[in-house]
Amino acid sequence: MDQDRVDNGLRRFESLCRERGLPLTVQRREILKALLQRDDHPTADQVYGCVKERITGLSRTTVYRVLETLVRLGVVRRLHHPGTSVRFDGKISRHHHLVCRKCNRVIDLENRSLDHLELSSMRLHGFQVEDYSVHLVGVCADCGRKSRPTS
């Protein structure tokens, strides 16, 4: 867990809320904190699962709603990856993903060379690029071991 990411994220969130007159609720803070502390890419339900112990009476609906708010504020990213339900990513700096086509796990990939792809020369037909990321699809280490037994 990256304590700096947690602190910075929470601070940025609080100032954004003040800026826009959004009330700072326990639910919002705890849900964001939970996301910032993990470095996987949980679904709304998984977030609910780990936050409900800290906030008694937390509603699943609230989790969906708060996650939506956090995405709108730009402190969290929404991911669309295999496995039916939407995933959330507490890491908003540019990074890339390894996607396992067997277990649907999504693993962060940090790589400086991928962070600076030359896009300016592309024919984008008027599309305004704001960010990008590279998705590497394949089989993760765990799944690779399982399918090809200890050779």
Binding interface with DNA (CB under 7 A): 17, 21-28, 43-45, 55, 57-62, 64-66, 68-69, 84-86
In angstroms, how far apart are the furthest CA atoms of the chain? Answer: 60
| Residue 108 interacting partner from DNA, Zn ion, Mn ion, none (CB closer than 5 to 8 Å by kind) | Mn ion
> What's the token pair of residue 25?
């609720």
Q: Write out the binding residues for its own copies, residues 68-127 only, by CB under 8 A.
A: 78, 80-82, 98, 100-101, 107, 109, 111, 113-114, 117-119, 121-122, 124-127
Nearer to DNA, 43 or 115 (CB): 43
Radius of gyration for the alpha carbons in the chain, expressed in angstroms and rounded: 18
Report whether 143 contacts 136 (CB < 8 A): no
Report whether 39 contacts 91 (CB < 8 A): yes
Q: Give the angle subtended at the CA of 8 by the CAs of 43 and 37, to the nearest 5°.
A: 35
Residues found near its own copies in the complex (CB under 8 A): 78, 80-82, 98, 100-101, 107, 109, 111, 113-114, 117-119, 121-122, 124-141, 144
Residues found near Mn ion in the complex (CB under 5 A): 89, 91, 108
